[in-house]
Amino acid sequence: MEYVHYSVMAEEVLHYLVPPADQQAILVDCTCGEGGHTHRFLSTYPDLSVIGLDRDASILEKAKRRMEAFDGRFTPFKVTFDAFFKDTGQQLYDLILFDLGISSYHYEESGRGFSFRKEEVLDMRLDTTDPISAMDVVNGYQEQRLADLIYTYGEERYSRRIARAIVEARKLTKIKESDQLAQIIYKAVPPAYRYGHLHPATKTFQAIRIEVNGELDRIEVALGGAIKALKRGGRIGVISFHSLEDRIVKWFFKAQDPALITILTKKPIIPSDEERAENPASRSAKLRVIEKL
């Protein structure tokens, strides 16, 4: 089976999240995906077990097959990470990892319209049982609401122009496919904006994806639950990929009682020059780590 996702800052994660020696330790990989980070942990630490969480049943199945060689040391759960820590009970864990990025699998293999470069159904749901899809947002939200979410979640300066163009286009025909939406956005922005280092649809697609999956709303709740579920001396690592996520993580950690946690990364860790060259998608990644006292 082919695995398409590149695990960002794998060496840095392994450096900071080290299980206690000579113990049957447990790591919770809150965003397991295809299992890249999990595979590295299980390969490196023979006494470690991993609980792998993901909202997407299909990608979790890929991870499950990938970990078959590790003799039951991998336990998958289809669940959102905020819900997992809400229901974890008295169980405590040694290490917890959040990689908040969207897996390459979703862009390359899922067929759900995450990529503006493909002709796919405009869905963008990480969990296909969720009630609202990207098609519902694009065709159902009022213009002002659409503009606000594109500006807030995409930090897109042409949000109003884009929202207006979407509303005008959907009067003629329902917007059903990802490349159809990308073309509407492309035509809506000024000509000079079309040829920057980012495709003009990038930020709008990000905003709609965040809205559909409620991505930002879950972070604080999950981090609070994770700290409670962490053993004393245990560590949490969080990899974020855009300023909205990183801001939430940064200020949540800063707001915690210094008698409860210590922040090990006063400045976030970023990928090496070599990694950014090998995997350009990693260029915006930031890793923050805390330890429970």
pLDDT band, very low/low/confident/very high, at 22 (cuts 50, 70, 90):
confident
Query: CA–CA separation, 218 vs 213, rounded Å?
Result: 9
Last residue of a domain, one of 195, 213, 231: 213
Q: Is the pLDDT of residue 2 over 80?
A: no
CATH number at residue 70: 3.40.50.150
Q: Is the pLDDT of residue 195 over 90?
A: no
Report how many domains make up the chain: 2
Query: Which range is least confidently modeled, 106-110, 139-143, 231-235?
Result: 106-110
Q: Is the pLDDT of residue 1 over 70?
A: no
Please tell me whether residues 169 and 147 are part of one structural domain: yes
Kindly report the backbone phi and psi dihedral angles of residue 284, in degrees, each rounded to the nearest multiple of 5, phi listed first. -95, 0
Please tell me whether residues 157 and 225 are part of one structural domain: no
Q: Which domain holds residue 66?
A: 10-100+216-292
Please tell me whether residues 233 and 194 are part of one structural domain: no
Q: Give 112's Cβ-side CA count (13 Å radius).
A: 24
Q: What percent of the chain has pLDDT over 90?
A: 91
Please tell me whether residues 227 and 178 are part of one structural domain: no
Please tell me whether residues 220 and 93 are part of one structural domain: yes
Please tell me whether residues 207 and 116 are part of one structural domain: yes
Residue 175 lies in a domain: yes
Query: CA–CA separation, 236 vs 217, rounded Å?
Result: 19
Q: Is the pLDDT of residue 281 over 90?
A: no
Radius of gyration of the chain (CA): 20
